[in-house]
Amino acid sequence: MGALLTQVRQRLKHEVCRSSPFLILMGLVIAAPTVLAEDALYASVSRSEAYKVDASDGSGLRVGLYQNRVNFPLAMRPTHLGLWLVGLEVKESQFTLRGSASGERRLYRLALPIEFYPLQTFASPWGESRFIFKAVPTHNTDERIFDHRASQLEYSIKGQIAVSSEWVIEGGLRADRRFGRFQYYPEVGVDWQPNTQWHHRWLVRQWMPSQDMFSDLRSDYYVNKRLSFYGALRPEGGHWRYGPYENHRVVSYESWQLGLGVVYQTHSPIDVVLEYGNSRDRRLNMGSKVPLKNGSYWQVTLQSRLPK
């Protein structure tokens, strides 16, 4: 298998300029140590709801969260250096407050993920390695979308080492708002596919002593070509700023999602994904930080997949 992948990569390097974009992409998918295009090349629509829960500080506040998300690809450009992918993400988060305070706030995240997958690989004592670069200009604000002060650049630089056909070790640096505030952190993890039925992707972020540690874990079990199940543990949050710069307001939300899901591949190019789980260690900050009780959530996603 290793020799075959090497031959594919060598052929891609010689023919990249005269091959069709689709053939180049499929060749890269075969040759890459792990799955390509986690953001930029997926087209999906999802809806999720976290059931209303009470604040755990005894204030009498009840909070509900409803989210809608749309992802779709904008461009794919192969070059002699590698593959460029550009996508678009639009995410709406609606917070509803009842009890001691009443109101509703709709907040938006607009993102333009740009990913670069170099053709160049490097030999290392542990296996063949490569780098993946990603930049995501984002805009996080409320209904008054055009507030340029709410814009920020998220990014990641990741290296991967293909130890074997089953194991890929990865690590790098990332900066984003996934855990309720903008922060930089290192990450390290493995992508392990021991057989045709199991696929594990386990990442640990912020292991430094001065920072909180959190994990992003997912394990998939494939029953057949159309049906699979998965379990996942991941952070879910956001950080939004709105209003005039001198008197702007900040809303942040952070939580853990522990969920089980099922993926069904229909006869069309659409996958149906259903997920149900528990949202834990939740905190909402709308001027003052309010801890929330654990609560259930559900999510429905329709997503496209690359032709096989």
Confidence of residue 57 (pLDDT cuts 50, 70, 90): low
Taking phi first (over 0 means left), then psi (-120 to 50 degrees means alpha), and beta for anything else, what does residue 243 get? left
Judged against a pLDDT cut of 70, whether residue 221 lies above it is answered with yes
The pLDDT tens digits of the residues spanning 116-175 come to: 999 888 887 777 888 999 999 988 887 766 655 677 888 999 999 988 889 999 999 988
Judged against a pLDDT cut of 60, whether residue 189 lies above it is answered with yes
Q: What is the CATH number of the domain that holds 130?
A: 2.40.160
Q: What angle do CA 152, 34, 12 make, to 5 degrees?
A: 100
Closest CA to 93 of 58, 50, 128, 133: 50
Structure tokens at 235: 């952070």
d(CA 1, CA 164): 9
Q: Which residues are registered as beta bridge partners of 168?
A: 162, 191
Q: What percent of the chain has pLDDT over 90?
A: 30
Judged against a pLDDT cut of 80, whether residue 235 lies above it is answered with yes
Which run of H or E residues covers position 141? strand 127-141
Which domain range does residue 243 map to? 2-304
Burial of 204 (0-12, 13-18, 19+ CB in 10 A): middle
Confidence of residue 194 (pLDDT cuts 50, 70, 90): very high
d(CA 127, CA 162): 5
Q: How many domains does the chain have?
A: 1
The pLDDT tens digits of the residues spanning 21-40 come to: 333 333 433 333 333 445 55
- The shares of helix, strand and coil residues in the chain, as percent rounded to the nearest 5, are 10, 60, 30
